[in-house]
Amino acid sequence: MESLQNKIDFTVLIKVANANPNGDPLNGNRPRTTYTGQGEISDVCLKRKIRNRFQDMGEPLFVQSADRSDDGCTSLSERASENITKYESNDDYARQACEKWIDVRAFGQVFAFKANKDKKEKEGVSVGVRGPVSIHQAVSCSPIDINSMQITKSVNSEPDKGKSSDTMGTKHFVEFGLYRMKGSINVQLAEKTGFSEEDAEKLKEALRTLFINDASSARPDGSMEVVSVYWWRHNNKIGQYSAAKVHDSLKINLKEGVLLPSSLEDYEIKLENLPGLEPEIFDGI
């Protein structure tokens, strides 16, 4: 595979309508928000969705969800020990891991496992891999309103003759939000992990189709949508402009007179010109 030669920055615009994009387990599973009221989707959540799309494309994954495991392994240590049986050094271990799993060569991974006595291993593994793909948390362009709905469960989870089957609960959702996710691909780190031009194209497709096969009761099908992907490919390895300047060139503001946005049409989206750097713009699916 051809190695990556050009730094890449990207931005993904995500529309949320009547969904909980990323619940906070420490706050009753309410949608995550910043102190200023902006909605937030954690980078860990976004990487999980990207990994799932890689898996849908047929790519081997190291960090798999338990309900999507395709190799029968029940832990990361088991997956590592079954696939990397012989290695001469930590660098060799990292090389084999990067060759095997696309998420390792994209996001990096810490391999820190104890010795497996069943396999008569004398030493454990302690290897770190820095990945070239960095993902920021997604933040809404305006403060969001969170609505709550009382629900009941009409069936008991456990047998209990003295307990009513009607159990109260609460669902929370964002009525509308336009979220912006930023990211970059570092060429120097890509050279170390083997992240290639082909891998970059797969990442682009994963971002464009981020919410395929991602529906749930909190995120009904169609309630979350990738509006567009902005993909800046620089003409050198370190970048013609800083990532911050590239990301800030995409200006998103409420239209005059709009106080509470309820649709994408309430925003004015403009792209500032950066001489010599024109992004590819893709619609989501």
CB 232 within 8 A of CB 244: no
Cα separation of 113 and 248, whole Å?
41
Whole-number pLDDT of residue 176: 97
In a domain, 186, yes or no: yes
Residue 260 phi/psi, 5-degree rounding, is: -125, 105
Q: What pLDDT, on a 0 to 100 scale, did the predictor assign at position 270? A: 97
31 is a domain residue:
yes
220 HSE (CA, 13 A, CB side): 9
The ranges of the chain with pLDDT < 70 are 116-122, 153-168
pLDDT for the residue 169: 79
How many domains does the chain contain in total? 1
The answer to whether position 218 is within a domain reads: yes
Threshold 0.85, pTM exceeds: yes
Residue 186's pLDDT is what? 98
Residue 253 lies inside a defined structural domain of this protein? yes
Q: Strand 167-185 to strand 8-19: parallel, antiparallel, or no bridges (unpaired)?
A: antiparallel
Domain that holds residue 32: 8-283
**Is residue 2 included in any domain, yes or no?**
no
Distance CA 107, CA 123 (A): 26
Element (H, E) at 174: strand 167-185
**Spatial separation of the C-alpha atoms in residues 182 and 178, rounded to whole Å:** 13
pLDDT digits (tens, 9 = 90+) for 60-115: 999 999 889 999 999 999 999 999 989 999 999 999 999 999 999 999 999 998 87
| Structure confidence at residue 170 (pLDDT) | 86
Which tokens hold the place of 207?
């971002």
